[in-house]
Copies of this chain bind each other. A is one copy, B any other.
Amino acid sequence: MAMSYITEKHILDRELKKGSAELLILSLIEDQPRHGYDIGNLIEQRSGGLLRFNVASLYPLLYRLEKRGWIQGRWVEKPGQRRRRYYRLTPEGKKVLAAQRISWREFVEAINRIIGMEHA
């Protein structure tokens, strides 16, 4: 999960990734609880490697979301596995996710309008 920003393109990627992080995490645990490492890998896989989370960003972000009451974590210990902390959406988190999805859509449309990509 190491980052590597070499070109100008990557500078943009790095910046853009910041704000969408919450939305990604909330979406991924919408249907089932997941642990941090799983979330990080899913984001990388499903984005075709375009989006990657540094673990040093991912875990603190999970703590913040839990502190805000949007997600709730619990430790799960199974034989033959290292202990994992599974996070699930709280009722408050569900509301926030719904609001953020709308916000994301409006945001993308606003940007596209300004940069001339209505058809994107």
Contact = CB atoms under 8 A, between A and B. Distances in A.
Nearest to A46: B114
Contacts of A111: 20, 23-24, 47, 51, 104
A55 interface: no
Contacts of A117: 101, 104-105
Contacts of A14: 19
Q: Which of A21, A23, A46, A110 has the most CB of B within 10 A?
A: A110
Main secondary structure, interface of A, reads helix
Interface string A80-120: 00000000000000001001111111111011011111001
Contact of A120 (B43, B46, B108): B108
A8 B107 CA distance: 14
16 contacts: A7-B99, A8-B99, A8-B100, A12-B22, A13-B103, A13-B107, A16-B16, A16-B103, A16-B107, A18-B19, A24-B114, A24-B115, A27-B116, A43-B114, A104-B115, A104-B117
